[in-house]
Structure 1
Amino acid sequence: MIGAASVEFTHLDTGTPEAAWREAGIEHLPTLALEDALGPETLLIVGAAHPDDECLGAAGLILRALAAGAAVRILLCTWGEASHPASPSVQPPALAELRRAEFHEALRRLRTSPSPGAEATGGQQGSIESVELGLGDGQLSESIDFIADAAAKIVRDSPAQRVVIAAPYRRDGHTDHDTVGAALARAAAEADALLLEFPIWFWHWAHPMRDSEWRHWMRLPLSPAETEAKAAALDAHASQLHALSDEIGDETVLGASQVEHFSRSFEVFRLTASATRDAGSASHTFDGVHADADDPWDLRSSWYERRKLALMVGMLPDETYRRALEIGCSIGESTAALAERCDHLLAVDASATALGLAAARLAELTGVDLAKATLPHDWDSLGLGPGQLDLVVVSETGYYLAEDELCELLANSRRALSPTGVLVLCHWRGPIDGWPLDGDRVHALAARLGMRSLASYSEDETLIDVYENGVPPSGGFCFASGAASGAQQSASAAG
């Protein structure tokens, strides 16, 4: 059984067919342009939890980087000895040796593949090397700091002027993949590097309509030569593509239906621009913010903040709410005001430091619970079933998420609200440095959910919107602008 958080699956499951992804429009994702990001002055680090991750998710990217003259470093965290835990024919040490040999053969094939784009760098072909950590397969969650430090060392030791980091999607559903993704995301943030996350098992367990975050990702088109070279490199991982024997426990890990996801004429990446943060940065960032000041946004002293809170609470259509959720409670000022209107209020924040301050502020109030959670990633930890809530408040937090994260959070909120439940959004309209969204974009995305608007307030600095949930659709909710039009985005322009 493979799984992380609430996702559980096995490679033996039927999985989502590639046809379902194509029918949903994956071929029409915006185009990722990397011409300005890849060159002789670029270091590309590709994180791989296991041998074959580098080929499945990023072989096309690697080929493109080599053709541009970049230095490519594959950070291989394990040798994949646990791919067949019940094998009667191959013991883990032998399997590790086999998979390591396959990995080096795959890199050799990538290194020696024809590079039709190399003429742009005067025929200069980039280099590809591996850094192998030899950690335990299936045990990487214990080594996230070690992996992040290893990636940081590669950056420090390189003379490159530009760094691009590619890693498994942080919510791929496989614990090892999620760990490597989180570790390299941390390294990317510290290096101000462009981060490209590639899904692997996501294509297998996710549903295109239910798990709609993919609509906010980008597509790197591959030439026929790159597609062929990727397939040749992947073929080197024979132990994963074919059964080890006819015995039970030696079954094929990557069946034909799974490989089809990686036989596309493009690769898909979740892009985080350099010097940009998302929900994964929230806990560390806001612990620091609240450690430096016990009221970092002057919520108690600022007339603007006090007036804005009074406006938001005054726009709530009902006098009382049975059960409510506040997302991003900070030091508890808004929580105290909302608690006067709620029988039970669950207030959530990613910062333990902020929650400590909130607990002191709310100590004498009843019906208020505090919880540490980084949303939307930790949503399931809240234990909220469908239709349980009457009110969800998202105040001054939406722009601290990436677009796909915000849409997932709003979709989860809709599912947790009753049909007559109310969703409230309140945000400042000024620039948000170092984060991907602003208040206007947050509210524009919420407006596309199809809820009935009950009230809206707009001025130069503030937006407040109040919606009635209605009956949520059974599929996905939120779609990125440009996803259906084949828009192009430059990675260098993005950061």
Structure 2
Amino acid sequence: MNPHATHFQQLYQRDDDPWQVRRRWYEQRKRQLLLASLPAQRYRHVYEPACGNGELTAALAVRAERVTASDVSPTAVKLTRERLARKPGGHAQVSVHCQRVPQDWPLDARFDLIVISEMAYYLSRVDLAQLRDCCINTLTADGVLVLCHWRHPFNDRMLDTTAVHATFDASGSLFRLARHDENDFLLDVWSRSSRSVAQREGLAP
């Protein structure tokens, strides 16, 4: 197990909610802002790497026909599966895997929504570039990519949040649909298509 995987495994073994994503209003609000920023009401296939204990996964499952989620920590994967099992119907359309990204990215799949939340700043610049390419190469023609990241310094951070998002902005293959910019976090929504929400709904030319 690589050092990052060991670190996260130990975190989730000590506490099933190490960042209090269930309890903190900050996290609840951020999650609702992310969901409200999605340009479509429903998605065919969502991919959420670094799913943690599955709080966002469960919310995405309500709006998706299929969700693929993953985490580098086996304990986080177990917690996500347990979280989903408690929901009515058990969210049978969700599959959860133990994966390290970008190395284990499912390159043979196609997603119309990819959500990268609170994980890209742990990567090296080389891995970040690979992550960006994986996202772009597995998005459908109208696919949407969301990045959401904490802005303050912390010990495990490898990259600055602004630099992470700028790497995706500079790709030349993505159109930014929305940005929510706060002192605490940065949320960006891009798509392979430049159509706005109103255009997707047929309200604007």
* Length-normalised TM-score, structure 1: 0.37
Measured against aligned partners, the alpha-carbon deviations of 1:204-243 in whole angstroms (never above 9, x if no partner) come to: xxxxxxxxxxxxxxxxxxxxxxxxxxxxxxxxxxxxxxxx
2:185 corresponds in structure 1 to: 462
In our comparison, the structure showing a higher alpha carbon Rg is 1
AA aligned to 1:293 is D
Structural mapping, 1:132-147, within 5 Å: none
- The Cα of 1:470 is off from its aligned counterpart by 4.4
2:77 corresponds in structure 1 to: 355
1:427 corresponds to 2:149: yes
C-alpha distance in 2, partners of 1:402/1:432? 16
What secondary structure is seen at the aligned counterpart in 2 of 1:444?
Answer: helix
1:378 corresponds in structure 2 to: 104
C-alpha distance in 2, partners of 1:416/1:458? 27
- The Cα of 1:400 is off from its aligned counterpart by 1.2
Measured against aligned partners, the alpha-carbon deviations of 1:76-128 in whole angstroms (never above 9, x if no partner) come to: xxxxxxxxxxxxxxxxxxxxxxxxxxxxxxxxxxxxxxxxxxxxxxxxxxxxx
2:164 corresponds in structure 1 to: 442
Q: Which of 385, 400, 412 does residue 134 from structure 2 map onto?
A: 412
Measured against aligned partners, the alpha-carbon deviations of 1:10-45 in whole angstroms (never above 9, x if no partner) come to: xxxxxxxxxxxxxxxxxxxxxxxxxxxxxxxxxxxx
- The Cα of 1:435 is off from its aligned counterpart by 3.0
Do the aligned partners of 1:454 and 1:467 also contact (CA within 8 Å) in 2?
yes
Structural mapping, 1:165-244, within 5 Å: none
Structural mapping, 1:154-169, within 5 Å: none
C-alpha distance in 2, partners of 1:452/1:325? 19
AA aligned to 1:459 is E
1:369 corresponds in structure 2 to: 95
Do the aligned partners of 2:122 and 2:156 also contact (CA within 8 Å) in 1?
no
Measured against aligned partners, the alpha-carbon deviations of 1:342-396 in whole angstroms (never above 9, x if no partner) come to: 11000011000111111110112221000111011112xx3534xx210100000
1:82 corresponds in structure 2 to: none
Q: Give structure 2 stretches of 5+ with no counterpart.
A: 195-205
C-alpha distance in 1, partners of 2:16/2:10? 11
Structure 1 residue runs of 4 or more that deviate by more than 6 Å after TM superposition: none
C-alpha distance in 2, partners of 1:438/1:353? 27
1:311 corresponds in structure 2 to: 33
Measured against aligned partners, the alpha-carbon deviations of 1:130-184 in whole angstroms (never above 9, x if no partner) come to: xxxxxxxxxxxxxxxxxxxxxxxxxxxxxxxxxxxxxxxxxxxxxxxxxxxxxxx
C-alpha distance in 2, partners of 1:383/1:408? 12
AA aligned to 1:371 is H
C-alpha distance in 1, partners of 2:61/2:162? 27
Provide the identity percentage: 38
2:203 corresponds in structure 1 to: none
What secondary structure is seen at the aligned counterpart in 1 of 2:102?
Answer: coil
C-alpha distance in 2, partners of 1:308/1:383? 29
Q: Which of 8, 12, 32 does residue 290 from structure 1 map onto?
A: 12
C-alpha distance in 2, partners of 1:394/1:333? 14
- The Cα of 1:325 is off from its aligned counterpart by 0.3
AA aligned to 1:460 is N
AA aligned to 1:417 is L
1:393 corresponds in structure 2 to: 115
Q: Which of 312, 323, 329 does residue 45 from structure 2 map onto?
A: 323
1:37 corresponds in structure 2 to: none
How many residues of Structure 1 are paired with residues of Structure 2 in the alignment? Answer: 189
1:113 corresponds in structure 2 to: none
1:40 corresponds in structure 2 to: none
What secondary structure is seen at the aligned counterpart in 2 of 1:460?
Answer: coil
- The Cα of 1:281 is off from its aligned counterpart by 2.6
Do the aligned partners of 2:22 and 2:55 also contact (CA within 8 Å) in 1?
yes
C-alpha distance in 2, partners of 1:281/1:444? 27
- The Cα of 1:327 is off from its aligned counterpart by 1.3
C-alpha distance in 2, partners of 1:383/1:440? 26
AA aligned to 1:399 is Y
C-alpha distance in 2, partners of 1:457/1:334? 18
Do the aligned partners of 1:282 and 1:374 also contact (CA within 8 Å) in 2?
no
Q: Give structure 1 stretches of 5+ with no counterpart.
A: 1-185, 187-279, 472-495
